[in-house]
A and B are shown apart, each in its own frame.
Chain A
Amino acid sequence: MTSSRPGDPESTTAAAPARTTTRILVAEDEHELASLVRALLEDLGYEATLVEDGQAALDAIAQERPSLLITDLAMPRMSGEELIAQLQQTEHRDLPIIVLSARPDAATRIAPFPGVRLLMKPFDIDEFEALVMRSLPPAL
């Protein structure tokens, strides 16, 4: 684990080219998994911000204007679906979204939002990385 901590020279060199301006918002109420996801993203050279619920995610999106949202579905205060639905009403409706979920009915829950990508938990980290890179808009 320690090897993938940010700043670790080994992992940064192994990961994709660093795009330091690319910020990714991670909404996940499980602390352990959230920090693991952040580590994975930072290995890829992205900056990750962690929030614990949908409401906090909405606020963070308004403030930080991330390039990608990675969100859980089951979260306190505001669920992932609500968060996505709310985003459709804002200027951030084009924000790419990846849903990470352990719910068996996740696919039906996000069915109303066609652009949203789904990755079921537990996931393959290669697959996760590929999905993140595919979801991000081409670097400027």
Chain B
Amino acid sequence: MDGMLVATHVGFLTLGLASIVRAVRAPGRATLDAAIFFGLVGCLSILTLLYGNNEISNPILNGVRQALRLALPLALLRVLDGFIPLRRGVSILYTVAWAACLAAALAGPPLARVALLLGSLYIFIGLPYVAFEFALFARRATGIVRRRMEWLGIGTLSLVAAAVARVCEEYVPVAAPVAHTAFFIAALGTGIGYFLGLTPPAAIRRLWHFEAVTDVLKMLAAAPLGEAVGTPDTRVPLEVARSFGAPRGALALWRPDVQAVLSGVQRVEDIPSPSTSIANRVYQTQRSVYAEDVTTYDPANAEMYARWNTRTILAAPVTVGERRFGTLALYGPSPGGMSPEDLPALEAVAREVATFLVRREVAALQIEASAQAEAALLKDDFLAAVSHDVRTPLTALMVRAQLLARRFNRSDDTESADAVEALVADGRRVQRLVETLLDVVKAEGGRFTSIFEPHDLRHIVNEVVSSLIEPQHAITVRGNAAAEVDAERIAEVVQNLLDNALKFSKSATPIDITIDGDDTNSRIVIEDRGVGLTTEDLTTIFNRFQRGSAAQHAGGAGVGLYVSHRIIEEHGGTLTAEQREGGGSRFLISLPVEVAQPKATPADTSIARDNDTSEARPMLIPATDGAAR
């Protein structure tokens, strides 16, 4: 026996063992088919190595060899069936032909010529048929499967070549030496081709997966982000299926409304058992799945899979970090080249799809945020127009009222003078109401335009206190501290708190304002000896203004406290309320001495706010019970 022969058969034997090992490690139709085929080849090689190419004297062993040889086309048909389901007739015909050939061969000399004829027909029709079908399938195949098809095609062509060479060696003596060499080359080509096509080694598989993943990444990078998240998206899974060479693909996303994972075209009513569906199980367990026969994996939904002509599914969770979107699935009527060994690559792709979906969500948020910013601008314009239109007649009214007041103040008609004074006071109340409404809307959008400059807080407080008209309380201001503040806004806060203190404490009770501070914070404490605060007040006092509730009174002190709270927040400080020891209430403003940085921009604020309240933002409707406490 020459070295070439030994090398070839040792090679076949190795391929056989390798594919059996692979079939054990990654059980599946594809690996099993490969193991059967290469196992047959390996067994034949053992016999050849032991007994050479000559007739084996032992009739049983000889029969086994014949059976194995003749079974090769049958094994190839089985491989083909894994990719393209064959018609039942073809399988039966070939099984019968195999039996007939085997019987003829084993019958011995009387039927030898018949056996040879039958065997030749069987092999020379069977092998080209397999090669032809593979070629057809390869034309349609894409991605990884196409690569495998190419190698299977090479393997099958080599096998035909090997058979031709064998016949030439036997019957055309002139060409025998050339045919002999050609046979070994073709046999080796067959082994390599089939091995790469049926069970590509990890390194080569990784290379093909890399190509597939790169294709998907390219597609995802170029995919438009404009569509709303959750819309039926068929392009992504189609492209993934193409890259992996799977017949079809689906991207099923978790739908909280129906508590199920659904693809764009699916309705939950169409799934008999949503909880056991593969897409859902993958989503729930976060583990990828290769289900060669879905009817055994998920029998409850067998009827649905039959309706979709689906038998084999390869599925991976579409998850990135903590964010779970759903399941990416490749499926088809047969394994069709799909293999459990594709799972790691599919998982990687599914993660990338999840990243893509995150990007799309972010893009959608950005669009929403800019729409909100635009709406906020519109609202600003609208408010400016409304306040202008209210203020203009109010201005004329106030001028007239003040002129009247002057006139009556100089007359003896004190009754009319008082009435006109009251008219002026009412006008001022309307005016303040308009200002407060504007403030509230500004606070709502987080858009106080603050100019932070170093100020003496004592100075600001004193200004407010001295502007009070005939206060009925003894107001004491003690201490001083400086802070970077918007003086006008802080004055507004002090005014609000002081108004509150005056409103809720009996006249002549003292009100103390204490200002102090350290290196980092400055404080203004306003204490009264009024009715004080209830425990419930303490938790809700700054939240009186609740969006969406029906408005009772727009200008109550509750709005003032809300606005004050927002102003102090914008300064990066805190406004807190507590019971004063010995009765009354205590409001504490704490301000950072230095403003760290400008507070959030309007867009930032609206995003942050929408995260904690997902409902749509209604227009401003303040709701208070008319009193702050």
Is the pair A125, B396 in contact by a Cβ cutoff of 8 Å? no
Most buried by B among A14, A30, A103, A125: A125
- Cβ–Cβ < 8 Å partners of B396 in chain A: 30, 32-33, 36
A33 to B394, CA, bound (A): 10
Is the pair A30, B392 in contact by a Cβ cutoff of 8 Å? yes
* Cβ 8 A contact of B403, one of A1, A100, A108: A1
Is the pair A104, B407 in contact by a Cβ cutoff of 8 Å? no
Most buried by A among B395, B403, B404, B449: B395
* Cβ 8 A contact of B438, one of A4, A36, A39, A104: A104
- Cβ–Cβ < 8 Å partners of B394 in chain A: 121-122
Is the pair A102, B407 in contact by a Cβ cutoff of 8 Å? no
Tell me, yes or no, whether B399 is within 8 Å of chain A by CB.
Answer: yes
Residue of B nearest to A72 (CB): B392
- Cβ–Cβ < 8 Å partners of B449 in chain A: 108
Encoded as 1 (CB less than 8 Å from any A CB) or 0, chain B from 389 to 430 comes to 001101111111011101100100000000000000001000
- Cβ–Cβ < 8 Å partners of A1 in chain B: 400, 403-404
- Cβ–Cβ < 8 Å partners of B397 in chain A: 122
A3 to B402, CA, bound (A): 12
- Cβ–Cβ < 8 Å partners of A91 in chain B: none
Is the pair B388, A122 in contact by a Cβ cutoff of 8 Å? no
A114 to B358, CA, bound (A): 49
CB contacts under 8 Å to B, within A83-140, are 100, 102-105, 108, 121-126
Give, as a whole number of angstroms, the nearest-CB distance from A7 to chain B: 16
- Cβ–Cβ < 8 Å partners of B407 in chain A: 3-4
- Cβ–Cβ < 8 Å partners of A4 in chain B: 403, 407
By secondary structure, the B interface counts as helix
Give, as a whole number of angstroms, the nearest-CB distance from B544 to chain A: 24
Give, as a whole number of angstroms, the nearest-CB distance from A4 to chain B: 5
CB contacts under 8 Å to B, within A7-40, are 10, 14, 30, 32-33, 36-37, 39-40
- Cβ–Cβ < 8 Å partners of A36 in chain B: 396, 399-400, 403
Tell me, yes or no, whether B431 is within 8 Å of chain A by CB.
Answer: yes
Is the pair A104, B383 in contact by a Cβ cutoff of 8 Å? yes
Is the pair A123, B395 in contact by a Cβ cutoff of 8 Å? yes
- Cβ–Cβ < 8 Å partners of B178 in chain A: none
Residue of B nearest to A29 (CB): B392
Tell me, yes or no, whether B387 is within 8 Å of chain A by CB.
Answer: yes
Residue of B nearest to A4 (CB): B403
- Cβ–Cβ < 8 Å partners of A30 in chain B: 392, 396
A119 to B395, CA, bound (A): 11
Is the pair A102, B387 in contact by a Cβ cutoff of 8 Å? yes
Give, as a whole number of angstroms, the nearest-CB distance from A10 to chain B: 8
Give, as a whole number of angstroms, the nearest-CB distance from A128 to chain B: 8
Residue of A nearest to B389 (CB): A102
Tell me, yes or no, whether B265 is within 8 Å of chain A by CB.
Answer: no
Is the pair B400, A121 in contact by a Cβ cutoff of 8 Å? no
Tell me, yes or no, whether A58 is within 8 Å of chain B by CB.
Answer: no
CB contacts under 8 Å to A, within B355-397, are 383-384, 387-388, 391-392, 394-397
Most buried by A among B394, B397, B399: B399
- Cβ–Cβ < 8 Å partners of A123 in chain B: 395, 398-399
Residue of B nearest to A30 (CB): B392
Residue of B nearest to A43 (CB): B403
- Cβ–Cβ < 8 Å partners of A3 in chain B: 403, 407
Give, as a whole number of angstroms, the nearest-CB distance from B580 to chain A: 35
Residue of B nearest to A107 (CB): B449
Tell me, yes or no, whether A74 is within 8 Å of chain B by CB.
Answer: yes
Residue of B nearest to A100 (CB): B395
* Contact A104/B384 with A121-B392, A122-B391, A122-B394 known, Cβ cut-off 8 Å: yes
Residue of A nearest to B386 (CB): A104
- Cβ–Cβ < 8 Å partners of A102 in chain B: 387-388, 391-392, 395
* Contact A105/B403 with A33-B396, A122-B397 known, Cβ cut-off 8 Å: no
A118 to B596, CA, bound (A): 31
* Contact A40/B388 with A3-B407, A104-B438, A122-B427 known, Cβ cut-off 8 Å: no
A123 to B431, CA, bound (A): 10
Is the pair A33, B383 in contact by a Cβ cutoff of 8 Å? no
Is the pair B395, A33 in contact by a Cβ cutoff of 8 Å? yes
Is the pair A33, B387 in contact by a Cβ cutoff of 8 Å? no
* Cβ 8 A contact of B399, one of A14, A33, A108: A33
Most buried by B among A30, A36, A40, A100: A36
- Cβ–Cβ < 8 Å partners of B398 in chain A: 122-124
Give, as a whole number of angstroms, the nearest-CB distance from B379 to chain A: 12
Query: What would 9 A/B residue contacts be, using CB atoms closer than 8 Å?
Result: A3-B407, A32-B396, A33-B392, A33-B399, A39-B403, A100-B395, A103-B387, A121-B395, A125-B403
Taking beta carbons and an 8 Å cutoff, which residues of B are in contact with A? 383-384, 387-388, 391-392, 394-400, 402-404, 406-407, 410, 427, 431, 438, 449
Taking beta carbons and an 8 Å cutoff, which residues of A are in contact with B? 1, 3-4, 10, 14, 30, 32-33, 36-37, 39-40, 74, 100, 102-105, 108, 121-126
